[in-house]
Structure 1
Amino acid sequence: MVVSEETARPAWWRRPPAVVAVIVLILGTELILGWSSLAGAVHQLRTPAWNWVAGAVVAEIASMGTYARMQRALLRGAGTSVPIRKHVALAYAAHSLSATLPGGPVFSTAFNFRTLRRYGASSAVASWCIALSGVLSAGALVVIGAVFGILTRSTGSWRTLVLYMAGALLVAFLVRLLAQHPQWLITPSRGLLSGVNKVRRRPADSGHARLAGFVDQLRSVRVRPADFGFAVVLAVANWLLDALCLWMCCIAVGAEGIHPAQLVIAYCAGMAAASVPIVPGGLGVVDGALVLGLVAGGLTSASALAAVVLYRLISFGFIIGTGWLVWLIMRARAGAPRGVPA
């Protein structure tokens, strides 16, 4: 079959020059329409209250520290103790991988797993710790959004809050229950593995022995209730400290016309937008959601834009830059030859 040149050429609106022209037109229109807000935001960013900026940086560092301590509590509860400085370094490095690379969550999870294995955790404990920390973090954000939504009377009711809390606890309980009874996963996992082996043209029982070994390791995972409860508290504190950073950024640029509860609602909307990995770091998506939320909460467009830019400079620029530096140090130490202190 011969395809003519006219048929093979894409439509004019699919050609790169046309796409670029449309993008430039949209950005130019937005720039013209929002020029006054942008100019006001730039003016506010030139003269921030530096004491509040310093407080925002401290709050963001504390937020990262609570996430590291949450993961440490889960790992310690499973019987593996690692110094907190290593957990903090892992939190920074893994967060940077997740936020900046295309498909970052996959690279971040793999890096997290390999590092926990190097710290002495078994494959099962490392996998369980990563899965449960993600569940607790997501559940904490949902509960925080529900609580402050009720406080502002913008959504839901106390019944909705109880439902959200019950759902989050149920998911965490199921993860813990599967860790205690991993044999429930053997049959479906073997069936899935056999199907994958068939597609890859390998023997049907390939990998079954490793799967059985992993299940045996998972049976030894037992987390003390006190460590689990402490991890839940830290998961909530992680989000609230990050929201505190945003609030301090608002004050730093002179935007004080928003109630803390409304700010947290705007923050939760921005973090929910960040969960959709359209672009690395949620650039543009998270910023837009935060600005819209802050404006809906009572701030002017200029003040909201200035506060979000400052917040992103700290939470994305400073934290991600630090994380990549930590990742380079960890990579160098992991590759150090024997006999050299790592």
Structure 2
Amino acid sequence: MTMSAPAPPWWRRAPVVVAVVVAILLVELVLGWRPLVEAVGQLRTPHWNWVAGAVVAEIASMGTYARMQRALLRGAGTTVRMRRHVALAYAAHSLSATLPGGPVFSTTFNFQHMRRFGASSAVASWCIALSGVLSAGALVVIGAVFGILTRSTGSWQTLLTYMGGALVVAVGVRLVAQHPEWLINPARRLLSGVNRVRRRPADAGHARLTGFVDQLRSVRVRPLDLGYAVLLAIANWLLDALCLWMCCIAVGADDIRPAQLVIAYCAGMAAASVPIVPGGLGVVDGALILGLVAGGLTSSSAVAAVVLYRLISFGFIIGTGWLVWLVLRARVTAGTPRGGPAHP
């Protein structure tokens, strides 16, 4: 005889949860109605020359990210035409920003296309991981520098701490790149533990792991290419922040200082790193609006600027990325022999 599960308490039942969410949204709408109406009014008459500048800045931001990955891949010995890297950056970014579990799909998509570019599995994995490390590290350094400029962090010791941490990570990455054999024993132990859980032979996959590490030994990113990639990672974030600043000017909100805007921007991007909902919708917007208001903008101006910024950085860029993904998908499918598997 099967016993039915106990009924959840009244406050966890679906109708109650929906009613609470609707009530919260209604309260927010009532409290924020006036700023929202004013924001819509500002969005109706933007300065179109600044809107065009914001679009150009966002396109340039995507271009610098593509160049960063190209520099890492070229430094590891694989040279690919720039337009292919740009197309990959747009498509992978759209997958990451809009799909549930998007970063997993984006990483797989990046890996598959880098393999088609001619990179080995080790080189492709290495470049994807390193580009993520550089991008995250660049955002931390930018936040620390502008935090000091606005005196919102303690002192220059804070910046030195962040810079020291970034240097330790860079040195660690460099050492692992030069001595990938250091990873073999820990990776074998981890793999053996996974095999025990899956009830497979303890040495299953060890030969493949050793082969992968042997490929990794050939990866030698030149210091010049690595330094260039670091600069591009910083430029990627700063150009995106420039897009937000131009959106502020486009709606008439030009009374915020650049340092305060960048702090608000870093807060929004930090919120975006927590994938609660696709694209960080609501989470990123709320963090950006709060940061801009703290920087001196009115609520209506902050809402208008963020809406315009998200229309460009999310709507325009993500829409373009999905179109690029469809083109890449069609090309891959056309190049696949009939009856063979087609990978996105």
Q: TM-score range by the shorter chain?
A: over 0.9
What do residues 119-177 of structure 1 show as CA deviations (whole Å, max 9, x unaligned)?
A: 10011111110111111111100110111111111113222112111211221221221
1:144/1:236 contact within 8 Å kept: yes
Aligned match of 1:15: 13
What do residues 21-48 of structure 1 show as CA deviations (whole Å, max 9, x unaligned)?
A: 1110000000000110000000001111
* Structure 2: unaligned runs, 5 residues or longer: 339-344
- Output the CA distance in 2 between the equivalents of 1:214 and 1:104: 26
**2:94 partner SS:** helix
Q: What is the RMSD of the two structures over their aligned residues, measured on CA atoms?
A: 1.4
Aligned match of 2:126: 128
Provide the TM-score with structure 2 as the length reference.
0.96
Give the length in aligned residue pairs.
338
Aligned match of 2:341: none
Aligned match of 1:44: 42
- Output the CA distance in 2 between the equivalents of 1:112 and 1:291: 32
| Offset at residue 197 of structure 1 (A) | 1.1
What do residues 92-123 of structure 1 show as CA deviations (whole Å, max 9, x unaligned)?
A: 11111111111111111111111111110011
Amino acid in structure 1 at the alignment position of 2:125: S
Give structure 1 regions of 4+ aligned residues with deviation exceeding 4 angstroms: 1-4
* Structure 1: unaligned runs, 5 residues or longer: none
| Offset at residue 300 of structure 1 (A) | 0.1
- Output the CA distance in 2 between the equivalents of 1:327 and 1:168: 33
Return the match for 2:233 from 217, 232, 235: 235
Aligned match of 1:115: 113
**Residues 285/18 of structure 1: CA separation in 2 closer, same or farther (3 Å cut):** same
- Output the CA distance in 1 between the equivalents of 2:249 and 2:134: 30
**2:39 partner SS:** helix
**Residues 2/331 of structure 1: CA separation in 2 closer, same or farther (3 Å cut):** closer
Aligned match of 2:60: 62
- Output the CA distance in 1 between the equivalents of 2:85 and 2:167: 25
| Offset at residue 245 of structure 1 (A) | 0.1
Aligned match of 1:319: 317
- Output the CA distance in 1 between the equivalents of 2:187 and 2:335: 39
| Offset at residue 2 of structure 1 (A) | 6.5
Give the fraction of aligned pairs with identical amino acids, expressed as a percent. 82
**Residues 339/275 of structure 1: CA separation in 2 closer, same or farther (3 Å cut):** closer
**Residues 338/142 of structure 1: CA separation in 2 closer, same or farther (3 Å cut):** closer
- Output the CA distance in 2 between the equivalents of 1:74 and 1:277: 26
- Output the CA distance in 1 between the equivalents of 2:141 and 2:247: 24
| Offset at residue 3 of structure 1 (A) | 4.3
